[in-house]
């Protein structure tokens, strides 16, 4: 499954998982925000719609998975910029999992670019590709082990509504 990353060059290049993926031909980087794929799903933690089995038909027809590689501190302004330049990409969030990267280890939802893409691949039944993109990272295998139970449950979901409910079996539901 082709993986695309809009790279805004806001983080330390030595810790950048997107650059490492691209250097190994595991993903395509887009430095121009007007040049990512024309249709598909943009991973956006504020999207409000979770990526799930309901999205598989469009992906099978060639829609792209697009991650945004930016600083968590600049996330909101980066998303505004991307939404303006790529309006056809539909935002999708992910069910909760724990980060295993050294910067955000153990934090729910604070994923690196490679972790977010790996979750997408697992949700879309592309486990081998998920393992392949995590392999270059010393903590990549740990990410899958740390999240083995929720990822297995998420894979079995039949709809995005199921995914939303399943995540609360593993994580505390926020109070409104």
Beta partners for residue 64, in sequence order: 40
* pLDDT one-digit tens code per residue, 56-99: 998 899 888 988 877 667 666 766 666 666 657 888 999 999 99
Per-residue model confidence as pLDDT tens digits over 117-160: 999 999 999 999 999 999 999 999 999 999 999 999 999 999 99
Contacts of 37 (CB under 8 A, 6+ apart): 4, 63, 64, 66, 89
CA 152 from centre of chain: 17
- pTM, two decimals, is 0.89
Q: Are 138 and 105 in contact (CB under 8 A)?
A: no
Q: Where are the domains of the chain?
A: 3-170
Q: What are phi and psi of 141, to 5 degrees?
A: -65, -35
Strands (E), the chain: 3-7, 28-30, 40-43, 64-69, 89-92
Phi, psi (rounded to 5 degrees) for 154: -60, -40
Q: 8 falls in which pLDDT band (50, 70, 90)?
A: confident
Coil, strand or helix at 83: helix
């Amino acid at each position: 499954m082709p993986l695309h990353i809009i790279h805004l060059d806001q983080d330390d290049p030595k810790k950048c998982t997107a650059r490492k993926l691209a250097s190994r031909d595991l993903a395509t980087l887009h430095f121009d925000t007007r040049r990512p794929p024309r249709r598909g799903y943009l991973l956006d933690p504020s999207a409000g719609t979770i990526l799930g089995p309901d999205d598989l038909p469009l992906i099978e027809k060639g829609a792209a998975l697009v991650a945004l590689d930016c600083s968590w501190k600049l996330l909101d302004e980066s998303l505004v910029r991307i939404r303006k330049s790529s309006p056809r990409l539909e935002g999708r969030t992910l069910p909760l999992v724990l980060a295993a990267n050294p910067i955000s280890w153990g934090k729910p939802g604070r994923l690196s670019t490679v972790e977010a893409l790996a979750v997408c691949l697992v949700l879309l039944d592309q486990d081998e590709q998920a393992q392949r993109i995590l392999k270059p990272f010393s903590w990549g295998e740990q990410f899958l082990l740390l999240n083995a139970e929720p990822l297995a449950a998420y894979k079995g979901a039949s709809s995005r509504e199921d995914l939303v409910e399943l995540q609360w079996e593993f994580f505390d539901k926020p109070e409104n």
